[in-house]
Chain A
């Protein structure tokens, strides 16, 4: 399970190819909140 914490690692990417796109999307959503809050101000 701890593999999913490091989805950019090559062996994780080969075993779970969907992990990295999912990770990017999750981080993007989290950072989007910052954008939305800053835009509102």
Chain B
């Protein structure tokens, strides 16, 4: 059986949560207060993650898809459990859809999306065949590279004399309503709510007692990292450009210009967007495939890799006719019709049922002990 170390879980969590979020500029609708919105989302999203971690502790050794049949029984629990692998497949398709728009508009304008996404998904399929341990080791290598790239990017931006901190002021100048609208429901469910997918790999971690600490540390780091990127993007681009750009962080990297010599680093930026998206899609698909294995009671999960990868490629290619359509569905519909019910409502009900059954079970045990 494959196992993950805690450091591997940390790197996987950071790369998964960073995912496609950095491409579109998290909470850009909050304008110059986007960074406050990110911090609030991270704080409230951490509460949702604590709920998932509490559920994991209540069901030791079980994956997300086994929690529901355990508490609700097989007739109600199984259909609910099946919704998660299907949602993970859909979310992976959305991630691929993000790239379908990003790559042709940035670095490869003449290459057909079928070729870009086809090659990308082949790499994902390969890592899925290699297994979660290989993905963990890849994460161990990639996270330091990503952090170095980020630090280098920050140094270059500050060296370009384009940062104007006053563009961040006044803080919450248009009231907290605008900030709250980006925090709930999108800010909490996107990235942080999606972490429920990691509940598929938590039972594979070598030291389960450290999962909570590791996951929370990774979540807070990601919250800080995205808030910092947003704050710098606003300080460089200003509120109007930041809010109107489809890819504000890509535009931010384009601004780097040191002595007319170090410039045009946007391709490097796209490379690290690609890396984090690769991890996000791979983990989504690992969770989906592992979920299929558990629910179909088969020994080898590799039989699901090719069919699921083909479905995800099809979803990615056909999901939206334009980038505006794609973003609108993600911002205005998806959080309400799928993410709130599956990331917040059902886990909360499950938690209450598990708590009541636990207490009731203990009381019954106590009664039996007294009577017996």
Which residues does A use to contact B, with CB under 8 Å?
A: 6, 8-11, 13-14, 17-18, 20-21, 24-25, 27-29, 31-32, 34-36, 38-39
Contact = CB atoms under 8 A, between A and B. Distances in A.
21 contacts: A10-B319, A10-B321, A10-B325, A11-B329, A13-B329, A14-B329, A18-B337, A21-B337, A21-B338, A24-B83, A25-B79, A27-B82, A27-B86, A28-B79, A28-B80, A28-B83, A34-B296, A35-B296, A35-B297, A36-B78, A38-B297
The DSSP consensus for interface residues of chain A is helix
B47 to A, nearest CB: 24
A17 to B, nearest CB: 5
A35 B338 contact: no
Given A10-B320, A14-B332, A20-B338, A25 B83 contact: yes
Interface string B212-250: 000000000000000000000000000000000000000
B297 A24 contact: no
A14 B255 CA distance: 35
B333 interface: yes
A20 B313 CA distance: 18
Most A CB contacts (10 A, CB to CB) among B87, B320, B329 go to: B329
Interface in B319-339: 319-321, 325-326, 328-329, 332-334, 336-338
Most A CB contacts (10 A, CB to CB) among B93, B295, B328 go to: B295
B74 interface: yes
A21 B78 contact: no
A39 B75 CA distance: 12
Given A8-B90, A13-B337, A35 B320 contact: no
B79 to A, nearest CB: 5
A22 to B, nearest CB: 10
A24 to B, nearest CB: 5
B168 to A, nearest CB: 33
